[in-house]
Amino acid sequence: MRSAEAAKNTAVLIEESVRNAESGVELNREVLARLEEIAQQVDRVGEVMAEIAAASEQQSEGVEQISRAVEQMNVLTQQTAASSEESASAAEELSVQAERMRNLIAEFRLSITRPSTATQPAVAAPAGSGRKRVEARAPVGVGAREASATFASVERIQPSRLIPFDEDEAVLGEF
């Protein structure tokens, strides 16, 4: 009886060991499956990190290109501003010179001569008028008679009729 009981206990222990072994094998399979899932997840994380690194590199290059473009635009803006200042200064100087020229021309009366038989020399502005007096003289080698016929009559003309300043004011006014 004892041997039958010992055999029975041994059989129970063997069955229990087999069940434990099978359970251990099953747990081992589950652990391996989980470890494989973890390895796949780690691989996927590595791929995502590589994509992030590549995108970050591209973004960095893009930001660098934008920085260079902005720097070039700043340089061009400064050059344009300097050029505009120079143009404005030149326009102002031209305006001042044009005004001086108008003032100088306004002091003169221009004359156009017409042939006549009178013998007096032509005078561009009457004496005492506050304007410069200009006498028409005959060219060298021309006799008094010929000169008096050529310069006998003088027609006074305002400079603004010959030089249209008013048309230029619109152009100069833009500056």
Quick: pLDDT tens for 17-35: 999 999 999 999 999 999 9
The end-to-end CA distance of the chain, in Å, is 129
Number of alpha carbons in the 13 Å side-chain half-sphere of residue 117 = 0
Whole-number pLDDT of residue 114: 53
Is residue 8 situated within a structural domain? no
Q: 88 with 175: CB under 8 angstroms? A: yes
Tally of CB atoms within 10 A around 21: 10
- Tell me the three state secondary structure of residue 112: strand
Question: Cα-Cα-Cα-Cα dihedral of 125, 127, 128, 130, to 10°?
Answer: 30
Contact 154, 122 (CB under 8 A): yes
In a domain, 144, yes or no: yes
Please report, for residues 14, 28, 88, 162, 164, the alpha-carbon distance to residue 107 in angstroms, rounded to integers and kept in the order given.
Answer: 137, 116, 29, 15, 16
Domain presence at residue 122: yes
Burial of 154 (0-12, 13-18, 19+ CB in 10 A): buried
Q: In this predicted structure, what is the pLDDT of residue 168?
A: 56
In a domain, 51, yes or no: no
The answer to whether the predicted template modeling score (pTM) of the entire model surpasses 0.75 is no
- Give the per-residue pLDDT at 113: 55
- In sign, the C-alpha dihedral spanning 144, 147, 149, 154 is negative
In a domain, 134, yes or no: yes
Residue 105's domain comprises: 90-173
Give just the sign of the alpha carbon dihedral 155, 158, 163, 167: negative
* Confidence at residue 163, expressed as pLDDT on a 0 to 100 scale: 59
Backbone angles phi, psi at 152, to 5 degrees: -70, -40
What is the domain count for the chain? 1
Q: Which residues of the chain have pLDDT under 70?
A: 109-175
In a domain, 133, yes or no: yes
Residue type, 104: L
In the prediction, which pLDDT does 7 show?
Answer: 85
User: What is the DSSP code (8-state) at residue 138?
Assistant: P
Q: Is residue 152 part of a domain?
A: yes
What is the reported pLDDT for 1? Answer: 72
